Amino acid sequence: MIRHIVFFSARNQEDVDLIAEHLRGLGQIPHSDFFEIGINRKVDQLGTEVDVVVYGEFRDEAALAAYKAHPIYSETTAKVRPLRELRIAADFVSRV
């Protein structure tokens, strides 16, 4: 399984909910086995830069590639890119 995690920070704090709303649309893409969006509660005193988190689980690299190739993905990217400051992504193989 591939775990796909992406962290976003908003350029303007008033856009955090809008970013999350746009990113929730990614859940309509059929290639993930599990998908969710979360807003960072910012309770960790050392890491409050992240506002929104995307978390997805994919059967394999092909499923993740199909997810990223879906038209909803590019539409969502076009909506979120101007609202975000930071985007950090990580994909890793999970044995669980």
pLDDT at 46 over 90: no
**Is residue 84 within 8 Å of residue 77, measured between CB atoms?**
no
How confident is the model over 63-85, as pLDDT tens digits? 999 999 999 999 999 999 999 99
Q: What is the mean pLDDT of residues 14-41?
A: 98
Locate the domains of the chain by residue range: 2-55+69-93
Average pLDDT, the chain: 97
Q: Name residue, tokens 């190739």.
A: 69
Could you please state the CATH topology (level 3) that the domain comprising 2-55+69-93 is classified under.
Alpha-Beta Plaits (3.30.70)
> Mean of the pLDDT values across residues 24-36?
97
pLDDT band at 49 (very low <50, low <70, confident <90, very high): very high
What gap in Å lies between CA 94 and CA 67, rounded to an integer? 18
Greater model confidence, 37 or 96: 37
